[in-house]
Amino acid sequence: SKDRLQPMIRDTPALNGKVKDVKSRGSENTILHKKFPGGHITLVGANAPSTLASRPIRIVFCDEVDRYPASAGAEGDPVALAAKRTTTFWNRKLVLVSTPTVKGVSRIEKAYENSTKEQWCLPCPSCGELQPLTWGQTIFKADGPDQVQSVEHCCRECGALHGEYEWKAGIGQWIAREPERKTRGFHLNELVSPWKRWEEIVSDFLKAKDSPEELKTWVNTSLGETWEEQGEQVDENELVKRREQYAASVPDPVLVLTAGVDVQNDRFEVEVVGWGVGKESWGIEYRIIYGDPAKPEIWHQLDEYLGRTWRRADGSGITVSCTCIDSGGHHTTDVYRFCVKRETRRIFAIKGEGGDGKAFVGRVSRTARENCALFLIGVDGGKVTLLTRLKNKFEGTEGYCHFPIKAECGYGEEYFKGLTSEKQVIRFHKGRPRLEWIKVGKVRNEPLDVRNYATAALEILNPNLEMLAKVDRNSPKNTQSGQAQPRKYGVVNKGIQA
């Protein structure tokens, strides 16, 4: 409203003066509601069912529908709710717009498939054949993301190659693949954009192609296509085979350590994870501490473990910078009491929230009795990120996961069975598809949860890993009188002051 709508009204001569000045008295020009002669424009959030159902509307414009929640509160699908508001108008119009997301659950993909399926087509400069510009017909030469020599598009009819300006100089038109359908649907990608050069698109692709997370974003935003997962589950045997021998407890590329803790009735399961540039990770140790969480002894052991100094090959030390402990079990109060006294060490209580669309690290609040900081964690989003990183087979690239082969580190076959114990499936609820995580067999899933918590600890810590890498390269050995010292870095900590 402030950044787009108000400047448009102000700077467009035909609109200027139609809406009262924002400083004038009355409620005819607020941030979310603006009246003009003959109508009004109202801005509504997709998660606000009462606002959606409050007034009749002739034209409804739904933006980024793939990011909408599955249900607006308890009222149902927000798009269906908005469409209901147009029922009383004979000349009603409903417009859905979105960047697509995941194949099978994308709202905009489903709507487009049931439409006229129109594509913006340009004539071939050689033969005149009208056709959409596609990535599959794009031919480029490059020595790297910053060295793109040429980009051309191949005609699907005559095979001629022409550059960007030759194609875009043609007069294009929309061509429907299903012209008999009543609902019109349109698809565009960045290849026809007047604001994006082909060299930039190719450069973005070359930067993203080795990272599944970045490639997914590129496919969604540049090609305007849904992302289809190639297999919904990681093979634990592949992860077991790629275990490696570390030269020390903590490999040299590790800049920050975080930990995740899962609380069970008879034990703690803890994992310490090292992080480097590009969030490349190294499993340091997976430890099970047995005992009754209702008694103080096991908490003393956990406290000592989280305060341990880990050693590098040069003898220098590094400590855990942030820890997330799950508080959702039977020992919630014990977790709060433990964490509230150790917040200066960034040991935080967390509570997992399932469901699609939840932020991985959500809001932080204070518990009523213990005054403990409590972070809400969108565990499903974290699992999606972890699944993508585990599938990455290119060592040294963003998000690649390393695991040690030493038996005492705790990364045996049972660990990897637990790490890959869930898979993502599409299930239908009240006729709508949504992604869910389900367990495979009877394998315990604590390793998956604990790695998720350690990843959340990194997001809470929010360090500048690239800057730390420069500091680490330029710093002398951190030793004094032959005694190795823990390395200490300044980090940005969002959400809470320690």
Closest CA to 276 of 484, 490, 470, 479: 470
In terms of pLDDT, which residue wins out, 48 or 455?
455
Residue 492 has pLDDT above 60, yes or no: no
Rounded Cα–Cα distance for residues 203 and 141 (Å): 11
pLDDT at residue number 53: 67
Rounded Cα–Cα distance for residues 458 and 85 (Å): 44
Q: What is the mean pLDDT of residues 241-264?
A: 94
pLDDT at residue number 72: 72
pLDDT at residue number 488: 45
Q: What is the mean pLDDT of residues 307-311?
A: 95
pLDDT at residue number 451: 96
- Whether 382 and 374 have beta carbons less than 8 Å apart is answered as no
Residue 497 has pLDDT above 80, yes or no: no
Q: What is the mean pLDDT of the chain?
A: 87
Rounded Cα–Cα distance for residues 9 and 19 (Å): 8
pTM to 2 decimal places: 0.61
The one-letter code for the residue type at 392 is: N
Q: Which of 194-208, 319-333, 416-430, 473-487 bottoms out in mean pLDDT, i.e. has the lowest?
A: 473-487
Helices (H), 189-266: 198-208, 212-221, 236-241
pLDDT at residue number 273: 98
Residue matched to tokens 């793109």:
148
- Provide the token pair at 374: 């409590």
Angle at 384 between CA 381 and CA 385, to 5 degrees: 90
pLDDT at residue number 21: 74
Sorted by sequence, the CB contacts under 8 Å of residue 299 that are 6+ apart come out as 293, 334, 338
Q: What is the mean pLDDT of residues 27-35?
A: 83
Q: What totals of helices (H) and strands (E) does the chain contain, helices first?
A: 14, 25
pLDDT, tens digit (0-9, with 9 covering 90-100), for 204-238: 999 988 777 788 889 999 999 988 755 456 788 88
Rounded Cα–Cα distance for residues 446 and 452 (Å): 10
Residue 191 has pLDDT above 80, yes or no: yes
Rounded Cα–Cα distance for residues 346 and 343 (Å): 5
Q: Give the best-scoring range by mean pLDDT among 352-356, 378-382, 449-453.
A: 449-453
- Provide the token pair at 177: 């693949």
Q: What is the mean pLDDT of residues 163-192?
A: 95
Q: What is the mean pLDDT of residues 345-365?
A: 88
Q: Which of 41-55, 108-122, 421-435, 460-474 bottoms out in mean pLDDT, i.e. has the lowest?
A: 421-435
Which residues, listed in sequence order, are joined to residue 366 by a DSSP beta bridge? 373
Residue 414 has pLDDT above 70, yes or no: yes
pLDDT at residue number 478: 45
Length of the chain: 498
Residue 30 has pLDDT above 90, yes or no: no
Largest CA distance in the chain: 85
- Whether 377 and 351 have beta carbons less than 8 Å apart is answered as yes
Which residues, listed in sequence order, are joined to residue 176 by a DSSP beta bridge? 118
pLDDT, tens digit (0-9, with 9 covering 90-100), for 104-120: 778 899 999 999 999 99
E strand map for 393-431 = 401-402, 422-429
- Residues of the chain with pLDDT > 70, as a percent, come to 89
In terms of pLDDT, which residue wins out, 326 or 384?
326
- Provide the token pair at 53: 């159902």
pLDDT at residue number 484: 41
The Cβ of residue 91 has, within 10 Å, a number of other Cβ atoms equal to: 7
pLDDT at residue number 490: 40
pLDDT, tens digit (0-9, with 9 covering 90-100), for 119-132: 999 999 999 999 99
Closest CA to 419 of 391, 392, 448: 448
pLDDT at residue number 453: 97
Domains and CATH numbers, the chain: 236-475 (3.30.420)
**Which three-class secondary structure state does DSSP give residue 297?**
helix
DSSP H or E stretch at residue 256: strand 256-263
Sorted by sequence, the CB contacts under 8 Å of residue 24 that are 6+ apart come out as none
421 confidence band (pLDDT: 50, 70, 90): confident
Residue 280 has pLDDT above 80, yes or no: yes
- Whether 205 and 211 have beta carbons less than 8 Å apart is answered as no
Q: How far is CA 204 from the centre of its chain?
A: 18
pLDDT at residue number 85: 86
- Whether 468 and 256 have beta carbons less than 8 Å apart is answered as yes
Q: What is the mean pLDDT of residues 249-272?
A: 96
pLDDT, tens digit (0-9, with 9 covering 90-100), for 65-99: 988 877 776 677 888 888 888 889 999 999 999 99
Q: What is the mean pLDDT of residues 231-258?
A: 87
**Which three-class secondary structure state does DSSP give residue 403?**
coil
Where b means 16+ CB within 10 Å and e means fewer, 387-408 reads: bbbbbbeeeebbbbbbbbeeee
pLDDT at residue number 498: 32
pLDDT at residue number 229: 59
**Which three-class secondary structure state does DSSP give residue 230?**
coil
245 confidence band (pLDDT: 50, 70, 90): very high
Q: What is the mean pLDDT of residues 37-66?
A: 84
